[in-house]
Homo-oligomer: A and B are copies of this chain.
Amino acid sequence: MSSPTSSSYHPLDLAGAIVYARQRPELREIFRAGEELEASEVGDGNLNLVFKVWAKADPRRTVVLKQALPYLRLVGEGWPLPTDRARIEAEALKIQFRLVPAHTPRLFFYDPEMFLTVMQNLDRHLIMRKGLIQGIRYPRFAEHIGVFLARTLGATSDLVLDYKTKKELVVQFTNPELCKITEDLVFTEPYRPTARNNFPPEIEIQVLALQSDESLRVEVAKMKEKFMTHAQALVHGDLHTGSIMVNNEETFAIDPEFAFYGPMGFDIGAVIGNLFLNYAAHEVRTPDPTARAAFRRYLIEMVTELWETFVREFQRTVWDQVDPVNFPLDYQEYYLLNILQDAAGMGACKMMRRVIGLAGVADLRGIENRADQALASSLALNMGQALLKKREQMHGIHDLIAVATACQPSYPWKH
């Protein structure tokens, strides 16, 4: 599972990326022999080098090179990370492309010596999170991502795969180091005082109250156990709005390096939780009440449409295919309700960790006024708490939305 860097591995620089792209036979359909190429480095992540390479004569002929670094870039060489995640990402992309080519970037090839993936350059698309922060609406996003979730999760589960293929995929996508990051940062550290936590000091009282709420920690522990043991489907594993590229017509899920066999609700909760984080941020980002209400209505409609598309597509591609004697209708309903409740609980943990934990999101941490940031963060925290604690009373997506939208910020303190 872990793979030490190979002897021919070396991190690329800009010039190296051009040389590399020019010499690979797999790219002959994109770049003509000997023609001049240009490149830029665009990596904003911590784990990888990312280059765009294009033909100078025709910038529409372009690819992205993504190379795994053997350490966490932000921290430096002190936090080594297995380059095996590059293999995981390439293999997950391959499966996702087969299942949902419309919403998965095309993989040209994976170079196991260089831990390097060459894929479609999504240069006419924006990171969804950036669009949401700017208040841009994407009319097809919810439907597209609902389809992506239903097809990638349904078709990789025991409901569709034969007993052997599923178990071989579990082995293939064993991803301990990247799962460990989630186990620590999403399900452990935010709920206790730890050195790496990083939240607005103004809401310290609220954070301490949350951390001392034992009934909340019980529910977090249940979610963590599900994450660690419920090998239900090949999940993307990091499907926040920063891992989705959009424009008016198209939607792509990128960066599945955290992929592993886990609970379906983890992916669905990631999308919903991040839409709710944006919902909380607009508490201060959109001061005009009418404009704020309108954008939030749009966010809520996306949550509804995403879930309803997921259910419809799951019905068509999974339930319509199974034997109803061994999978009766009531079981199918129970199964979907469990996914919904898992999505609420796991999305909730992802919301809380973005407020309290090491890694934040631009929606909240990009708010410059400190009191404003504290207020929006306080609201996000209350939404997360409520979604986690009330998930078992939810019987449909409207219950989930009602729980989230009923929340208020605790900061500034009323007393």
The chain A residues found within 8 Å of chain B, CB to CB, are 1, 158, 163-164, 166-168, 170-171, 174, 176-177, 179-180, 183, 188, 191-192, 214-215, 217-218, 220-222, 224-225, 228-232, 325-328, 330-331, 334-335
Inter-subunit contact A163/B191 (CB<8 Å): no
Nearest chain-B residue to A187 (Cβ)?
A: B326
**Known contacts A163-B183, A167-B179, A214-B330: does B325 contact A192 (CB below 8 Å)?**
yes
State the number of copies, please: 2
Inter-subunit contact A218/B330 (CB<8 Å): yes
Contacting residues, chain B, for A327 (C-beta < 8 A): 221
Nearest chain-B residue to A329 (Cβ)?
A: B214
Inter-subunit contact B170/A217 (CB<8 Å): no
- For A180, give its contact among B163, B221, B231 (CB under 8 Å): B163
**Known contacts A170-B174, A171-B174: does B215 contact A330 (CB below 8 Å)?**
yes
**In the assembly, what is the distance between CA of A179 and CA of B230, in Å?**
16
**In the assembly, what is the distance between CA of A334 and CA of B218, in Å?**
9
Inter-subunit contact B176/A167 (CB<8 Å): yes
Nearest chain-B residue to A188 (Cβ)?
A: B326
CB distance from A172 to the nearest CB of B (A): 10
Contacting residues, chain B, for A167 (C-beta < 8 A): 1, 174, 176, 179
Inter-subunit contact A192/B232 (CB<8 Å): no
**In the assembly, what is the distance between CA of A160 and CA of B161, in Å?**
31
Contacting residues, chain B, for A191 (C-beta < 8 A): 325-326
Inter-subunit contact A158/B228 (CB<8 Å): yes
- What are 20 A-B contacts with C-beta separation under 8 Å? A158-B225, A158-B228, A163-B179, A163-B183, A163-B228, A164-B176, A167-B174, A167-B176, A170-B174, A171-B174, A188-B326, A191-B326, A192-B325, A217-B328, A217-B331, A218-B331, A218-B334, A220-B326, A222-B331, A231-B231
Contacting residues, chain B, for A231 (C-beta < 8 A): 229-231
Inter-subunit contact B1/A221 (CB<8 Å): no
Nearest chain-B residue to A263 (Cβ)?
A: B229
Inter-subunit contact B174/A221 (CB<8 Å): no
